[in-house]
A = this chain, B = another copy of it.
Amino acid sequence: MTPVQVVEAFVAAWNRMDLEAILAFLHEDIVYHNMPVAPLHGKAAVNAYLRSRWIFDSIDWEMPNIAVTGNTVLTERVDRFTIDGRPVNLPVMGTFEIRDGVISAWRDYFDMAGYRAQLPVR
């Protein structure tokens, strides 16, 4: 798979809500950085994080733009979720670095306050 194909398949796994497939695309040494907060280091940490935050009724990410330079893939997306029956739409750009056919770095850039304002109170 090309780097672009890896990212497209990764997004498809999100849209199937297939957490095992999502994790299979991550390098053991991945650095996953939602830029407004601290980065997570390693697949085990990302696994624990995603399982603890897996509050989605549905997932439908759109990816209007994807481009590649070397092994680095840049994306522009709208990450749409449904949480407690409410729509949550996250405009986001993300960079994915591909190594050994999997994702070794993932950096997502978005406005945290705009995201949190949409979340149901729990």
Contact = CB atoms under 8 A, between A and B. Distances in A.
Interface of A: 35-36, 65-69, 72-76, 91-95, 107, 109-114
A95 B35 contact: no
Copies in the complex: 2
Main secondary structure of the interface of A (DSSP, over half): strand
Contact of A67 (B68, B107, B113): B68
Given A67-B69, A107-B76, A36 B93 contact: no
A76 B74 contact: yes
Contact of A65 (B65, B66, B76, B95): B95
A112 B36 CA distance: 9
A113 B113 contact: yes
